[in-house]
Structure 1
Amino acid sequence: MAWAIGAGSSGSTPFAPAVGAKAISIMRASFLVGLLGFAGATLQGANVSEAMGRELIHGVSLSPVAATVGLLTAASLVAIGVFTGYPIATAFTVTGAVVGVGLALGGDPAWGKYRQIALLWTLTPFVGGGIAYATARSLDSDPDRRPMYISGLAGAVGLVIANIEFAALGSASNAASISTVGAQAFPLFVSAESTAGKAFISLTIALTCAGISYRELARDEVRAERRFLLVLGGLVAFSAGGSQVGLAIGPLLPMLDPFELPLTAILIGGGVGLLAGSWTGAPRMIKAVSRDYSALDSRSSIAALVPSFAIAQTAVFFGIPVSFNEIIISAIIGSGYASGGAGSVSRKKMGYTILAWIASLTIAIVLGYTAFTAITMIR
């Protein structure tokens, strides 16, 4: 499952806009996304892993057979998408398969979690695509103010980075953000939980990012835009690892409880699978996402990646499985439409992809339920 995810959504989508803008080659993007995805899986994978393993079904724990059937079902569907060039929504397939086998196991639907997931999945195309569209229009509207707009985006990205929670910065049970750790270093703040302390560190990081971006843009605007684009691709790749590793290892957590393995060790194992998938299978999907959906330049790619990064980190924070194909593709379509109009977006490819997303969720639920029920009857 981890290999299929690395070859599909987490391996192909983060750098796809940068590849489309010719800021980086396909093979180099595959190499970098593998390393960054591994880092994200290790440092940020806990929340989504817990949700996939323990929060999708109530009343039962996934058995080894149930987890095997669910992951095999989802991995097969994702692999079909990889080899046909249509990015299947990984979160849809894994979530559907786990729900299917969980219901067949006799569990009860977790309606509260389903509402959270459905809300995020429904809003993602509109929020991500809408922000990408508005950002792309702003960047193209006034060349004189473009450096100021891009610097503002860099500051917003810095603000998000300052408040991302990393496992390595916190205790064994709780992750911590850079703003929290930074506030501890300043005695003028009463405590690490001080809102003023966190706000001060966050604002400092945001202004630093904006200042560096503005300086680089003043020196060479084209080069600075490409560098910012690559940084954004790296941040999205890191976020993809933190989110997508949970889809692969989350269903394993209930059966690993008796062994008392540290979660970090399990996350590393999942990260290795993502790394292998990115290095061996991602180039095909990077090509499909970067070239087949919309023609992008550096500015429209930046417009696509900024909301993608924010949405991805929101999903990681709340422990909600989310499809990076859905996030990136909707943002690419939004920014591409703003930059080139309807002619720059492949409506046929977009239509087939939406149908594939809906079908993958439905098929995964049905196959997971049917396959587990059949195996139970045979046994």
Structure 2
Amino acid sequence: MAEVLLVVGVVVAMFVAYNIGGSTTGPAFGPAVGAKAISKPVAAGLMGLFFFVGAWTIGRNVVTKLGTELVVDPGVFTLESSIAVLFFIGIALLVGNIFGVPASTSMTAVGAIAGLGLAGNVLDLAVMGEIVIWWVVSPIVGFWVSLIIGRYFYARFNRMVAMERSTGPLLDVDRSGPIPIPRVHETTNRRELVGTITVVAIGCLMAFSSGTSNIANAVAPLVGSGELAMDPAIILGGIAVTIGAFTIARRTLDTMGSDITELPLTAAIVVASVSSALVVFLSMLGIPASFVIIATMSIVGLGWGRATRPVTVPEAVRKEKAPPVTIDALAADEPGEELPPIGEEDPDKIPQASDLFNPATTARVVLMQNVVPAIATLGAYLTFRFVPIFGI
């Protein structure tokens, strides 16, 4: 019976990892695929590779935190309870997909495990408090870092990475020798090459950061139960993520690739860099992080910083001018354009076409990112507290 339950647990864990691969490949490599820098199969392969590297290295910290440190008695992770926790994580993915909002699997995993710990009176409140504090602090840090970049460095960065596509292919393959050697095509310009390398590198960084944080969402309960060792758990999770990247992620790659014009490529690179760096940092501390919430606040901070360039700090403090936050504010700087000093930029050069972020949509994202984990916590608590089969 135990062997059957273990197989069921592994299948459920791989299903969760499969969905993680499907939902995170698009945000990571959508810009690169949309810019025709790489193909979908190459994006899926890179996703699987860098996710596994992140999981195998830093991701162990988060698996340990969720699987053994969040509860004072890891024995509470029986096979039955581990499967139930993974079930709640899977339900969170389903709810997020139904509402069109990517639910945070990290926050939901913590919520489900916290519900288990509360039901068994074994939740480590100090560890839980540390996680919650970082959940509050990290989006604020992302907002301010992005705001500073938007205000002082965005225009310069935009001129560096703005891609000017040439008519020919990016690379040629020299097959004259025994080993094919890729070479830069003669029509490829330097800006195009730098931009392409940058957007692909950012995708790899996002895949790596996803591995450092999200692997725990799929395997931590089974590792905490002692029924599955760390190394095979990470390998199985990595395989499932790769399968998801090659299959169901194709649709998210289409969506992210075609919708990237809603967020300029330069802005997408900045947001992805700031968010990924914060997620990797938190993973090194063993803290599971919500990439979506951090990225959302980074977008708001970046747009706000860019829109405040016509306003000096004293003017902003005195509220003499109300800075607009627009998509065009991020896209206004053209390559080669000289940037006037802070406070001297013409506000008319920043068109008021449309808001960078829709307040209603932003509120829905943030609300769902907190409601779904709360539902998982309450559902897990009630299940483990009142369903006799778990014996908590």
Fold shared per TM-score above 0.5: yes
Residue 316 of structure 1 pairs with residue 283 of structure 2: yes
Question: What stretches of structure 1 of length at least 5 have no aligned partner?
Answer: 151-218
Provide the C-alpha distance between the structure 1 equivalents of 2:96 and 2:387, rounded to a whole number of angstroms: 26
Provide the C-alpha distance between the structure 1 equivalents of 2:268 and 2:62, rounded to a whole number of angstroms: 27
Provide the C-alpha distance between the structure 1 equivalents of 2:54 and 2:45, rounded to a whole number of angstroms: 15
Which of 195, 219, 232 pairs up with 1:225? 195
Correspondence for 1:365: 377
Correspondence for 2:216: 246
Amino acid aligned to 2:68: R
Q: How many equivalent residue pairs?
A: 305
Following superposition, the deviation at residue 24 of structure 1 comes to 5.3
Amino acid aligned to 1:319: G
Q: Secondary structure at the match of 1:13?
A: helix
Provide the C-alpha distance between the structure 2 equivalents of 1:320 and 1:38, rounded to a whole number of angstroms: 18
Q: Secondary structure at the match of 2:379?
A: helix
Correspondence for 1:353: 365
Correspondence for 1:112: 126
Residue 298 of structure 1 pairs with residue 298 of structure 2: no
Provide the C-alpha distance between the structure 2 equivalents of 1:142 and 1:109, rounded to a whole number of angstroms: 48
Correspondence for 2:356: 344
Considering only aligned residues, what root-mean-square deviation do their CA atoms show, in Å?
A: 3.1
Mean alpha-carbon deviation: is it higher for 107-116 or for 227-236?
A: 107-116
Structure showing greater Rg: 2
Provide the C-alpha distance between the structure 1 equivalents of 2:275 and 2:388, rounded to a whole number of angstroms: 41
Amino acid aligned to 2:138: T
Following superposition, the deviation at residue 291 of structure 1 comes to 6.8
Provide the C-alpha distance between the structure 2 equivalents of 1:130 and 1:19, rounded to a whole number of angstroms: 29
Following superposition, the deviation at residue 255 of structure 1 comes to 2.3
Is the alpha carbon distance of 1:378 and 1:322 closer, same or farther for their aligned partners in structure 2, counting shifts above 3 Å?
A: closer
Is the alpha carbon distance of 1:38 and 1:84 closer, same or farther for their aligned partners in structure 2, counting shifts above 3 Å?
A: farther
| Length-normalised TM-score, structure 1 | 0.70
**Deviations 1:26-80, CA, capped at 9 Å, x for gaps:** 6654443233213322333211110110111223521111111111011111133
Residue 376 of structure 1 pairs with residue 391 of structure 2: no
Is the alpha carbon distance of 1:91 and 1:288 closer, same or farther for their aligned partners in structure 2, counting shifts above 3 Å?
A: farther
**Deviations 1:131-155, CA, capped at 9 Å, x for gaps:** 2233244344458x954x99xxxxx
Provide the C-alpha distance between the structure 2 equivalents of 1:288 and 1:92, rounded to a whole number of angstroms: 25
Amino acid aligned to 2:205: L
Question: What stretches of structure 2 of length at least 5 have no aligned partner?
Answer: 1-15, 163-188, 307-326, 330-353
1:100–1:368 Cα contact (<8 Å) kept: yes
1:132–1:304 Cα contact (<8 Å) kept: yes
Q: Which has the higher contact order (CA 8 A, sep 6+)?
A: 1
Provide the C-alpha distance between the structure 2 equivalents of 1:146 and 1:292, rounded to a whole number of angstroms: 22
**Deviations 1:265-307, CA, capped at 9 Å, x for gaps:** 2211111122222233334445666777982223212211221
Give the number of the structure whose residues are more often helix, by fraction: 1
Amino acid aligned to 1:317: M
Following superposition, the deviation at residue 128 of structure 1 comes to 1.5
Correspondence for 2:274: 307
Following superposition, the deviation at residue 23 of structure 1 comes to 5.2
Following superposition, the deviation at residue 253 of structure 1 comes to 1.4
Amino acid aligned to 2:100: G
Amino acid aligned to 2:275: S
1:136–1:335 Cα contact (<8 Å) kept: yes
Following superposition, the deviation at residue 16 of structure 1 comes to 4.4
Following superposition, the deviation at residue 317 of structure 1 comes to 0.8
Provide the C-alpha distance between the structure 1 equivalents of 2:257 and 2:140, rounded to a whole number of angstroms: 20
**Deviations 1:79-120, CA, capped at 9 Å, x for gaps:** 33235431111111111011112222x133312212221122
Is the alpha carbon distance of 1:315 and 1:288 closer, same or farther for their aligned partners in structure 2, counting shifts above 3 Å?
A: farther
